[in-house]
Amino acid sequence: MRKIILFSCLWVATMVAKAQVARVDSPDNKLNLNVFVENGIPLYSVNYNGNVILENSPLGLVTNEGDFSSGMTFVGKSEGKIDKRYTQDKIKRSNVHYKANTLTCTFTDSLERHISVCFHVSDNDVAFRYELPVWGERRTCVVLDEMTGFRFPTLTTTFL
The pLDDT tens digits of the residues spanning 21-45 come to 999 999 999 999 999 999 999 999 9
Calculate what percentage of the chain has a pLDDT beyond 90: 71
Q: Is 59 exposed, middle or buried (0-12, 13-18, 19+ CB in 10 A)?
A: buried
Q: Check residue 91 and give its pLDDT.
A: 78
Residue 17 confidence (pLDDT):
44
Listed in order, strand segments (DSSP E) in the chain are: 21-25, 31-38, 41-48, 51-58, 61-63, 66-68, 73-87, 95-108, 114-122, 126-131, 143-146
Residues in the chain with pLDDT values less than 70: 1-19, 158-160
